[in-house]
């Protein structure tokens, strides 16, 4: 174990993906069910997450949190692969969005995030500033969540009346 990751398993996974690139293609199935008010229960396999309401992250906060969590994963994974011993990764972030359209106040602007501004703070025992800069730059090129947000993935909605 290094940085809380099983290095042997990580390297085995990378080798397997290189030998069989089709295994990199993942179909993720998630369900969501209204729990009353502004709350939803989101399920993926045997894992559940409550979103919305006063006690939980809002859907927008969950999106924002997913971005930051993915950035941390990218940095930690690549630090581990490079033998860089991390002491801390901390991200401060602000995302701006306008809820006018959600509440039918106005049709402009779009109701999603307009931008994210964040700062990554990283501390490692055995890395140069250049190595840490390189790790953080991977967030711009290797983060699946950041790529999803930036590329405006098509959403195909179907509905059924029960």
Name the band, by pLDDT with cuts 50, 70 and 90, for residue 106: confident
Q: Domain-by-domain residue ranges, the chain? A: 25-56, 58-162
Distance CA 116, CA 61 (A): 12
Cβ-count burial of 40 within 10 angstroms (0-12 exposed, 13-18 middle, 19+ buried)? buried
d(CA 150, CA 84): 29
Could you tell me the two tokens for 49? 């997450």
86 exposed, middle or buried (CB, 10 Å; 0-12, 13-18, 19+)? buried
Check residue 73 and give its pLDDT.
98
Q: Mind listing the pLDDT tens digit for each residue in 79-90?
A: 999 999 999 999
* pLDDT tens digits for range 3-34: 999 999 999 999 999 999 999 999 999 999 99
**Would you give the DSSP letter of residue 2?**
B
| CATH H superfamily, domain 58-162 | K homology (KH) domain (3.30.300.20)
Q: In whole numbers, what is the pLDDT of the chain averaged over residues?
A: 95
Instruction: Tell me the percentage of the chain whose pLDDT exceeds 70.
Output: 100
When pLDDT is cut at 50, 70 and 90, the band that residue 108 belongs to is confident
Using a pLDDT cut of 90, give the percent of the chain over it.
91
Q: What whole-number distance in Å separates Cα of residue 57 and Cα of residue 44?
A: 17
Give residue 120's pLDDT band: very low, low, confident or very high (50, 70, 90). very high
Residue 75: is its pLDDT beyond 90? yes
Close Cβ partners of 84 (under 8 Å, ≥ 6 residues apart): 124, 126, 127, 131, 132, 135
Residues facing residue 40 across a β-bridge: 34, 51
User: Is the pLDDT reported for residue 152 higher than 90?
Assistant: no
pTM of the model: 0.92
pLDDT at 38 over 90: yes
């Amino acid at each position: 174990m290094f940085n809380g990751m099983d290095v042997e398993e990580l390297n085995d996974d990378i080798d397997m993906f290189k030998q069989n690139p089709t295994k990199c293609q993942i179909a993720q199935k998630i369900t969501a069910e209204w729990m009353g008010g502004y709350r939803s229960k989101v399920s993926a396999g045997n894992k559940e997450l409550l979103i919305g309401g006063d006690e939980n992250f809002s859907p927008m906060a969950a999106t924002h949190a997913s971005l930051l969590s993915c950035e941390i994963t990218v940095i930690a994974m690549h630090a581990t692969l490079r033998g860089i011993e991390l002491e801390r990764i901390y991200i401060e972030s602000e995302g701006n969005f306008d809820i006018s359209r959600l509440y039918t106040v106005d049709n402009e602007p779009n109701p999603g995030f307009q931008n994210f501004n964040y700062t990554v703070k990283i501390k490692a025992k055995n890395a140069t500033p250049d190595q840490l800069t390189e790790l953080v730059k991977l967030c711009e090129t290797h983060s699946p969540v950041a790529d999803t947000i930036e590329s405006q993935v098509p959403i195909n909605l179907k509905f059924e009346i029960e």
